[in-house]
Amino acid sequence: MRKIYTIGLLISISVIILSVFESCRKTDANAPKGPTPLVLTIPSGFPPPSDLFRNNPPTKEGFELGRRLFYDGRLSADGNFPCASCHQQFAGFATLDHDFSHGVADQFTTRNAQPLFNLAWHKEFHWDGGINHLEVQPLAPITAPNEMAETVENIIRKLNADTSYKRMFREAFQTDVIDSRNMLRALSQFMGMIVSANSKYDQVKRGERTFTSAEQRGYALFQQRCGACHTEPLFTDLSYRNTGLPVRPSLNDVGRMQITGKSADSLKFKVPSLRNIFQTGPYGHDGRFWSVSAVIDHYRFGVVNGPTTDPLVKNRIQLSDFDRNDLIIFLRTLTDSTMLNDKRFGPY
Ligand code: HEC
Ligand code: HEC
């Protein structure tokens, strides 16, 4: 009797366990899938990226949300100035043909908009490196009165009123709450995933194509005269340097010193990447040069020496007109039409 009872109990326990398993299996199959991971592929020859994504691993859903936010005018006070109004894909995500970019209420920025690509390799942002994480960077343009002139609270209110955003935040971050933290994480995923590594230069490096003899001559000159600051493969060593540009009194921009307060950093600016350089003009932190050849002529003839002028340009850079042309021919191989036309980075 007791034995039968025990067996009966065992059977009913097993049935309960089995049905629990079964129901688990069922709910798993019906549960909403988590976001799909996206991998930042490190192009051959690139150094390891920063720890940008350590606490914010990119996903397809997070990236898509970031892309939508990047192109959404609602992030600005009057609805007309999304990030993409100043960071245009066809211009390497800089502003085409503008020294300063146009913001809310007919105001202008006081620096040239920087291109946005390979940012997962940068540790500091803006011309003076005043921002030390990509995830907080958007707060600067959002709140700047001459850029987007908006508050985070207002943006969150606008996004909350849109049910499609509610769905996208849920899919990306598994939460029904739309908050600034996840908004910033999504923007960071989008920007951090923009990689430029398929120019002719990259293809030559991968052994898929070869340089013409003029490109090869330009490349050799580039390595000798420019590569110490515009270091391959990012074409920037991410340092701050004074290249002897005469100060514009109307702006009186002291660059890096504004952040560190050290006179040794006076007039130093973040070395810009030269990838996609023919798309990102005008040039320099204040957009004062309207052509690449004008920038090269600055190194040849225009350097003004002061206490912080970089030793590499102090005596100017000796280049013939012929050398300048070869350099320009080489720099043209840095145009990456794959990135410039990649639909994944285009308007939402
Ligand atoms: C009105 C034009 C304008 C708008 C709108 C704008 N930016 Fe910018 N962006 C700039 C300018 C100008 C700089 C250079 C700022 C500086 O050095 O002080 C810059 C710099 C940056 C940088 C630094 C890149 C680097 O290499 O250091 C990032 C990242 C960036 N912007 C992202 C954004 C995002 C995200 C948005 C939208 C939330 C946005 N920007 C909106 C003009 C704009
Ligand atoms: C001492 C380091 C250094 C050297 C050497 C150097 N550059 Fe630069 N380059 C910079 C810095 C820093 C800037 C930004 C200057 C600014 O706006 O204040 C810059 C800006 C530029 C720009 C404008 C890019 C933009 O997006 O605005 C071009 C083009 C350029 N350099 C090309 C060259 C070439 C070609 C050479 C070699 C002939 C060269 N550079 C040598 C540091 C250097």
Q: Do domains 60-196 and 200-338 have the same CATH topology?
A: yes
Q: Which CATH superfamily is domain 60-196 in?
A: Cytochrome c-like domain (1.10.760.10)
Contact 147, 103 (CB under 8 A): yes
Residue 21 has pLDDT above 70, yes or no: no
Among left, alpha and beta (phi > 0; psi -120 to 50; other), residue 255 is: left
- For the Cβ of 280 lying below 6 angstroms from any atom of ligand 1, the answer is no
* CA separation for the pair 127, 114 (Å, rounded): 8
* CA separation for the pair 344, 193 (Å, rounded): 10
Contact 66, 186 (CB under 8 A): yes
Contact 231, 312 (CB under 8 A): no
Considering only CA atoms, which residue is closest to atom 10 of ligand 2? Answer: 271
**Residue 303 alpha carbon to ligand 2 centre in Å:** 12
Q: Tell me the pTM.
A: 0.92
- For the Cβ of 271 lying below 6 angstroms from any atom of ligand 2, the answer is yes
User: 285-335 pLDDT, tens per residue?
Assistant: 999 999 999 999 999 999 999 999 999 999 999 999 999 999 999 999 999
User: 259-278 pLDDT, tens per residue?
Assistant: 999 999 999 999 999 999 99
**Residue 93 alpha carbon to ligand 1 centre in Å:** 9
Q: Which ligand is nearest to the CA of 129?
A: 1
Two tokens, residue 103: 């913001």
Given the structure tokens 């040849």, which residue do they identify?
A: 300
Which atom of ligand 1 lies closest to the CA of 129?
27
Could you state, in order of their start, the residue ranges of all structural domains in the chain?
60-196, 200-338
- For the Cβ of 87 lying below 6 angstroms from any atom of ligand 1, the answer is yes
- For the Cβ of 69 lying below 6 angstroms from any atom of ligand 1, the answer is no
- Answer CATH for 200-338 from 1.20.120.1750, 1.10.1040.10, 1.10.760.10, 1.10.3720.10: 1.10.760.10
Phi (first) and psi of residue 206, to 5 degrees? -85, 0
